[in-house]
Amino acid sequence: MTSTSHPRDLRAELESLTTEAFRPELAGIDRMPTLDLARLMNGEDAGVAGAVAARLPEIAAAIDAVAERMARGGRLVYAGAGTAGRLGVLDASECPPTFNTDPSRVIGLIAGGPAAMVTSVEGAEDSRDLARADLEALAPSPDDTVVGVSASGRTPYAVGAVAYARESGCLTIGLACNSGSPLAAAAEHGIEIVTGPELLTGSTRLKAGTAQKLVLNMISTITMIRLGKTYGNLMVDVRASNDKLRARSRRIVALATGAGDEEIDRALTATDGEVKNAILTLLADVDGPTAARLLEESGGHLRAALEARP
Catalytic sites, residue numbers: 94, 125
Q: Please classify residue 70 by burial: count the beta carbons closer than 10 Å to its beta carbon, then call 0-12 exposed, 13-18 middle and 19+ buried.
A: buried
Identify any residues that bridge with 109 across adjacent strands, giving them in sequence order: 79
CA-CA distance, 80 to 27, in Å (whole number)?
A: 30
- Contact between 220 and 91 under an 8 Å Cβ cutoff? The reply is yes
DSSP string, 282-297: HHHT--HHHHHHHHHH
Q: How far from chain centre, in Å, is Cα 151?
A: 15
- CA distances to 63, 180, 204, 286 from 29, in Å: 39, 31, 18, 64
Angle between helices 207-226 and 82-99 (to 10 degrees): 30
Which residues 6+ apart lie within 8 Å of 203 measured at CB? none
CA-CA distance, 215 to 208, in Å (whole number)?
A: 11
Which residues 6+ apart lie within 8 Å of 173 measured at CB? 62, 66, 145, 146, 147, 148, 162, 187, 188, 189, 190, 191, 219
How many CA atoms are closer than 13 Å to the CA of 4, on its beta-carbon side? 3
CA-CA distance, 147 to 300, in Å (whole number)?
A: 25
Identify any residues that bridge with 147 across adjacent strands, giving them in sequence order: 78, 173
CA-CA distance, 239 to 16, in Å (whole number)?
A: 46
